Amino acid sequence: DTAVSQTPKYLVTQMGNDKSIKCEQNLGHDTMYWYKQDSKKFLKIMFSYNNKELIINETVPNRFSPKSPDKAHLNLHINSLELGDSAVYFCASSQGLAGANEQYFGPGTRLTVT
């Protein structure tokens, strides 16, 4: 039973296209996150939602738009894809916003923009 799932696992697309990545968690958590891992393996937070409300919005191009239809889902839509968007995108979830709470990560979505 997968705790945090993401679809698709791999995404290859051309510059200028629009694409979405879906994330679902079945842990009953109220907080979900998107992280980006670049080619040098550096991980950086992009967004977080708590009870469907946007809490963290790091310096991310506005071509990236998260959507949380309910507490169990957090999707990431990317418009006008650029070469620099190629990365692995991880969804994560936790209970609450406290620094003490472990975050469970999804398997990642490898996005390749050609």
Partner 1 sequence: AQKITQTQPGMFVQEKEAVTLDCTYDTSDQSYGLFWYKQPSSGEMIFLIYQGSYDEQNATEGRYSLNFQKARKSANLVISASQLGDSAMYFCALAGGTSYGKLTFGQGTILTVHP
Residue 88 contacts partner 1 per CB under 8 A: yes
Q: How far is CA 38 from CA 45, 59, 95, 98, in A?
A: 11, 15, 26, 26
Interacting residues with partner 1 between 27 and 66 (CB under 8 A)? 31, 33, 35, 40-45, 48, 50, 55-56
Residue 96 contacts partner 1 per CB under 8 A: yes
Closest separation in Å from C-beta 16 to partner 1: 27
Of 83 and 100, which CB lies nearer to partner 1 in the complex structure? 100
Sign of the C-alpha dihedral computed for residues 43, 18, 61 and 12 taken in this order: positive
